Amino acid sequence: MPNDGPAGRGSRPVPGSGGGADRGQGWGPRGPYPHGRGWGGRRPPWWPEGEPYPPAGWSGWRGGPRRRFPRRLGLLVALAIGFALLASGAVFRLLWGGGYGPEGGGRPWSGPPLPLLILGILAVAFLAGRAVRRMAAPIGEVMEAADRVAGGDYSTRVQVRGPGEVGRLAHSFNQMTERLQANETQRRALLADVAHELRTPLSVIRGNVEGILDGVYPADEAHLGPLLDETAVMARLLDDLQTLSTAEAGVLRLHRERVDPVAVAQDATAAFRARADRGGVMLDCRAAGPVPEVDVDPVRIGEVLANLLANAIHHTPRGGSVRVLVDPDPAGVAVAVTDTGPGIDPSDLPRVFDRFVKSADSGGAGLGLAIARSLVEAHGGRITAQSVPGQGTTMRFVLPPVDSSAGSSG
């Protein structure tokens, strides 16, 4: 049957076959090319109906940025070399009297033979091409990888190769994608942890409210009191999250003033003395010699000490002790909270200041130490943890002296 129209669905013309439709057409990766040229990005007549063109993920013979960039850069270098040759030819004509040798009215050529000159030019072009390829290929890989990162693939990495500057570019790109991937992982973990922490109080509230509405529970203090307690738990969690997010973003307002760090530590210790006595834990605060004043927000530093003391007292068994020591440090003033509890497992120690990291017997949401680190760093200080299993834990933070304190103020 003669083929008077476009090919049917799924059929493709055969290269070199007869028929007026194919006469004078070339054949390429996109099918028949009218007069040797492509379809200009349009769907060819023989392409199956209802299927996208071009296929997803197909880049044709021209390739993606990884291949196009070296070609364009090589073309630019070739044009630069050609321009240099033309310019040198013009200079040659000017120096030799406007001609090429005696027949042209100029001085005779006394330079290297013409074949040797051509070989030299080809050698320079070859070396320039290799240099361009060594530099352009890694940059093309980074461009292609950047497109994948823009599409949400933060696991993309590139091979570190090429000259020094290009290698540093690839290394910096890998570091950037690693941080992006870590931030994305933390974001997802944060959402999951917040949902988990809110699920328990909401379940308690819902169960009690449904019981009261159904007449199962009376609306008395015994059943309404837990509702108030659970709302306080959620409010405290939201406050902690707000404090943590503002401190990590560097927008936490600090009301700084010059204070005595020993007095701040003694005030925080006095606030926890009753809790320590109920738990049978000896609580002590002292200073190892005179210490300078610090320019800090005493309320925020009090929150840091409150988090550290609450953890220390909670994990210290009856008959143990918690000691607060304030002493001078080469970087400023150091405050250490040491307990005689069971200690922290070495595998958990590097993550002890991360969000929602807590022990099995912890009663909080696991944000206390993360908030403590953010508040200390907002003051320009640093905080560390040291622990020996079975011998206790020491949480120590250092605040800079008055003249080098940094951070926002209100």
CATH number of the domain enclosing 221 = 1.10.287.130
What residues contact 400, with CB distance under 8 A and at least 6 apart?
A: 294, 331, 332, 379, 380, 381, 406
Alpha-carbon span 321 to 312, nearest angstrom: 9
Number of domains in the chain: 3
User: Residue 235's domain spans which residues?
Assistant: 189-249
Q: Are residues 104 and 206 in the same domain?
A: no
**Domain at 398, CATH number:** 3.30.565.10
- Is pLDDT above 50 for 405? no
Among candidates 165, 183, 166, 173, which has minimal Cα distance to 149? 173
Q: What is the pLDDT of residue 92?
A: 63
Q: Does the residue 112 lie in any domain?
A: yes
User: Mean pLDDT across the stretch 53-62?
Assistant: 52
User: Mean pLDDT across the stretch 306-322?
Assistant: 92
User: Between 221-249 and 368-378, two packed helices, what is the crossing angle to 10 degrees?
Assistant: 40
Q: Are residues 231 and 285 in the same domain?
A: no
Q: Are residues 354 and 303 in the same domain?
A: yes
Q: Are residues 305 and 368 in the same domain?
A: yes
Q: Specify the pTM.
A: 0.55
Q: Are residues 230 and 295 in the same domain?
A: no
Q: Does the residue 7 lie in any domain?
A: no
Q: Are residues 262 and 288 in the same domain?
A: yes
Q: Does the residue 35 lie in any domain?
A: no
Burial class (CB in 10 A: 0-12, 13-18, 19+), 127: exposed
Q: Are residues 129 and 198 in the same domain?
A: no
**96 falls in which pLDDT band (50, 70, 90)?**
low
Q: What is the pLDDT of residue 234?
A: 83
Q: Are residues 140 and 214 in the same domain?
A: no
pLDDT tens figures, 107-129: 555 555 556 666 766 776 666 66
pLDDT tens figures, 348-395: 888 888 877 766 666 666 778 888 998 999 999 999 999 988 889 999
What residues contact 213, with CB distance under 8 A and at least 6 apart?
A: none
